[in-house]
Amino acid sequence: MEKKNTQELIIPDEEMMLLANSSLIYANSYFSTLENSLNKKTHFNNDLLYNIAIMALEKYFVSLLARYDWNATHHMPLALYKEALQFEDELTESMKATSILVGKFEGICSLEDFGYRTPDTEELRSMVTGIKEIKLLVEKRVAEINEIV
């Protein structure tokens, strides 16, 4: 599929527009909680903040894909990024790097136990910086289609 001007060609149906908008609302809520928790003293530990970061990133990609009338078929950050590449021509290498960063702390199902490491505060701050870039793109794309529909 050629990506050039894809965002102008695909008009999602009503159900997908609802998904795009509701996922964006959830993503923004998760992102706001994450960002605020890193900027002030909170009872949230880094494990919980990491899970909030994962949820925010996943919901941003679900929203972006729904904007293109597509149901996300993955939940891992890099897989979502790659899926969105089919439609979105403004995804950047730094957004890919953010997807890799967020995904590298997730454990995978394995009898050998892949292992799991909690990100430190600086790694969480890097996630916030990268997710913010994705957030701005998704907000722009959903707003553009909301004007048309």
| Range 65-80 average pLDDT | 95
SS3 145: helix
**Residue 9 pLDDT class (50, 70, 90 cuts):** confident
**How far is residue 5's CA from residue 83's CA, in Å, rounded to a whole number?**
17
* pLDDT for residue 1 is more than 60: no
Exposed e or buried b for every residue in 58-67, given b needs 16+ CB within 10 A? bbbbbbbbbb
* pLDDT for residue 77 is more than 80: yes
Identify the structural domains of the chain with CATH numbers, from first to last: 10-148 (1.20.120.330)
| Residue of 22, 44, 18, 24 lying closest to 33 (CA atoms) | 44
Exposed e or buried b for every residue in 69-79, given b needs 16+ CB within 10 A? bbebebeebbe
**Residue 42 pLDDT class (50, 70, 90 cuts):** confident
* pLDDT for residue 3 is more than 60: no
pLDDT tens readout for residues 53-69: 999 999 999 999 999 99
**How far is residue 77's CA from residue 124's CA, in Å, rounded to a whole number?**
15
Q: What percent of the chain has pLDDT over 90?
A: 80
**Residue 4 pLDDT class (50, 70, 90 cuts):** very low
pLDDT tens readout for residues 95-117: 999 999 999 987 665 555 555 78
